[in-house]
Chain A
Amino acid sequence: MPSASSRYLPLGAGVLLIAAILVFPSLAPNPYVLSSGVIVLNWAVLATSWNFVGGFTGYISLGHGALAGLGGYATGLLITKADLPSFVALVAAALLVAALAVPIGFAALRVRGASFVIVSIALVLILLLVFQSWSSVTGGSRGLVVPRPFPGMLRPEHHRVFFFLYGGLLLLALATWWLLDRSRFGMGLKAIREDEDKAESLGTPTFAYKLTVFVVSAAFTALAGGLYALWFGDLDPVFQFSVLTGSYIVLMALLGGVRNLFGPVLGAIVVGLALEYFKVEFGSTPLHLVTTGLLLGLVVMFMPDGVIPSLAALVQRLRNREQSSIREVTAADLAEQRRREREAANS
């Protein structure tokens, strides 16, 4: 049985998260801090959505920024061109992006590994090209203005509403991830992450599994992107289809730990706050790129399981040195005992 701590820890963290989401808007001293909160929550949803693919199957996507951008543009265009109500447009856009994810996933996931990454990066580059050039529809480099969903609302109130909307979306994404994590479907996905050939030989239809979870991930990502369009009200292809967005998402998820429900959220809070802080202190400089690159490189080289899991493992090791947990010792001892017996039988 999963130990008690592993069962109640997510529950505790979830309650804590809900409390934080509920309380933060009333604690925020000014609208600027509140808007930073919205941005961090946006990152948290994006990183958690990314983790449907990255965490379960181990396939790394650098193109989720483009899926968010697509969700944003689809929402904006459905409002301006098709006159849909804002939130109907949001849901329709997510469904549209999910539908588009099927052929993309078909091309990217039929073969293993490398082609998925290649497609994910190509997705960003081609969408940037298209949305910049196709100015008659997308507004091109001038950008696309998305009408506000609540026209009369004052700015602080607007931030507050979107903070809660993002909070709700984050909880929905987390709940879905948790549901998959404990399900048979999730077990199949994790088997794919561990050894795809082996999973297939045990009867898991790996391609269908990967495609399904990619589509789910794309839908959540598009919802976050669409919500951003409604909140921010102005889309520019250079920011919506930036390779940097994708790399921030990957950095957040890896930093927090992709095997944990709350890992990406934690990573998003850390990196998202750092991004906001640096924007205020230093503005936008090329050194952002250097810092992001260095951090990403360090995490991949030295802590591929994430900083938080690595620290947890360290703490565990230190604690074990003092007083070891009874259960683990029993298992290890038994294994050792059996090994000795077997060796004795051999000699």
Chain B
Amino acid sequence: MTLQTRGLRKAFGGVVAIDGADVEFQPGRVNALIGPNGSGKTTFFNCVTGMIKPDAGQVTYGGKDLTGRAPHVVARAGVGRTFQLCRVFPRLTAVDNVLAAVRPGGLLHGLRSAHRRDERERALGWLTRLGIEHLADAEARNMSWGQQKLLELAGVLMAEPDTILLDEPAGGVNPALLDRIGTLVRELNAEGRTFVIVEHNMDLVMSISDHIVVFDRGRPIAAGPPAEIRADERVLGAYLGV
């Protein structure tokens, strides 16, 4: 399942945030999306996941057209995401935060208990895997920033997406947690999940990603493996503003 955009464009008033972006992420790999502040990375994420409608262009996932579809349609197609400023449901318990990602099938399925044993076990499984199972019954708003970030990821994983978009996973987390997130991404990737990561922390990007796309002024200017990107002068230019 390849996530791909063609000629994607989005302007806010007179400001062009994304300017005809053609991007193809590699399935089964850890992809990174980097670029200077204001280069349109988050807007790109929002266009891809349906949070905002692009003005022009196309978003496809595994050949299926997702352009301008509602966020829940994109999610159900198998693309999960986290948010730049981590978002959890503050007054739900941790386990409920994860269970909220369970999709009721039809109407009658929707009336089934949200706490069915198998679903609950699965939710607790993800909390355990992320090391926050001891907080299962705590309300999310009482958890620390780092715990909330892990909880957000647990919710996304519960929905069983094939592709996961992480918006600044390293933002505001301490080095120990950073290591853990890096390891997790590699592990989850080894299990077959595709990742696309927007990140400013270059150490993290270079250490975990297989494929890097560099954004500048709303469009990709380079793409390739870390070693190649590191040596690319255009990338340096974009970052230094040359």
A–B in direct contact per CB < 8 Å:
yes
A residues engaging B (CB < 8 A)? 2, 179-180, 182-188, 190-191, 194-195, 197-207, 331-332, 334-335, 338-339, 342-343, 345-346
B64 at interface, CB cutoff 8 A: no
* B204 contact set on A, CB distance < 8 A: none
B99 at interface, CB cutoff 8 A: yes
- Known: A191-B100, A201-B51. Contact between A185 and B111, CB under 8 A? yes
The smallest beta-carbon distance between B170 and chain A, in angstroms, is 14
Complex Cα distance, B81 from A203, in Å, reads 10
Are the CB atoms of B81 and A201 closer together than 8 Å? yes
Cβ-closest chain B residue relative to A186: B114
Chain B, range 132-150, C-beta contacts under 8 Å to A? 134-135, 137-138, 143-144, 146-147
B221 at interface, CB cutoff 8 A: no
* A2 contact set on B, CB distance < 8 A: 115
Partner of A187, one of B88, B99, B176: B99
- Known: A197-B51, A198-B88. Contact between A331 and B134, CB under 8 A? yes
Cβ-closest chain B residue relative to A3: B137
Are the CB atoms of B83 and A200 closer together than 8 Å? no
The smallest beta-carbon distance between A26 and chain B, in angstroms, is 37
B residues engaging A (CB < 8 A)? 49, 51, 70-72, 75-76, 80-81, 83, 87-92, 96, 99-104, 109-115, 134-135, 137-138, 143-144, 146-147, 155-156, 159, 174-177
Interface of B is mostly: loop
Partner of B114, one of A183, A331, A335: A183
Are the CB atoms of B100 and A334 closer together than 8 Å? no
Complex Cα distance, B100 from A119, in Å, reads 29
The smallest beta-carbon distance between A183 and chain B, in angstroms, is 5
What are 10 A-B contacts with C-beta separation under 8 Å?
A: A183-B110, A190-B89, A194-B89, A197-B87, A201-B72, A201-B83, A205-B72, A339-B144, A342-B146, A345-B176
* B87 contact set on A, CB distance < 8 A: 195, 197-198
Are the CB atoms of B110 and A200 closer together than 8 Å? no
* B103 contact set on A, CB distance < 8 A: 184, 203-204
The smallest beta-carbon distance between A175 and chain B, in angstroms, is 12
* A198 contact set on B, CB distance < 8 A: 83, 87-89
**Most A C-beta atoms less than 10 A away, residue of B88, B100, B135, B177:** B100
Are the CB atoms of A342 and B174 closer together than 8 Å? yes
* B96 contact set on A, CB distance < 8 A: 187, 190
**Most B C-beta atoms less than 10 A away, residue of A198, A200, A201:** A201
Complex Cα distance, B70 from A200, in Å, reads 8
Are the CB atoms of B71 and A188 closer together than 8 Å? no
* A345 contact set on B, CB distance < 8 A: 176
Are the CB atoms of B113 and A182 closer together than 8 Å? yes
The smallest beta-carbon distance between B21 and chain A, in angstroms, is 21
Are the CB atoms of A335 and B89 closer together than 8 Å? no
**Most B C-beta atoms less than 10 A away, residue of A179, A195, A339:** A195
Cβ-closest chain A residue relative to B119: A184
- Known: A188-B100, A342-B176. Contact between A203 and B72, CB under 8 A? yes
Are the CB atoms of A346 and B175 closer together than 8 Å? yes
Partner of A184, one of B76, B90, B110, B156: B110
The smallest beta-carbon distance between A102 and chain B, in angstroms, is 16
The smallest beta-carbon distance between A306 and chain B, in angstroms, is 13
- Known: A190-B89, A342-B174. Contact between A206 and B72, CB under 8 A? yes
- Known: A191-B89, A342-B176. Contact between A201 and B71, CB under 8 A? yes
Cβ-closest chain B residue relative to A185: B110
Are the CB atoms of B104 and A184 closer together than 8 Å? yes
For the complex with contacts A201-B49, A202-B100, 13 further pairs of A-B residues with Cβ separation under 8 Å are: A180-B111, A183-B111, A191-B92, A191-B100, A197-B51, A202-B75, A202-B101, A202-B159, A203-B103, A335-B143, A335-B144, A346-B174, A346-B176
Complex Cα distance, B83 from A204, in Å, reads 16
- Known: A191-B89, A197-B87, A198-B87. Contact between A205 and B70, CB under 8 A? yes
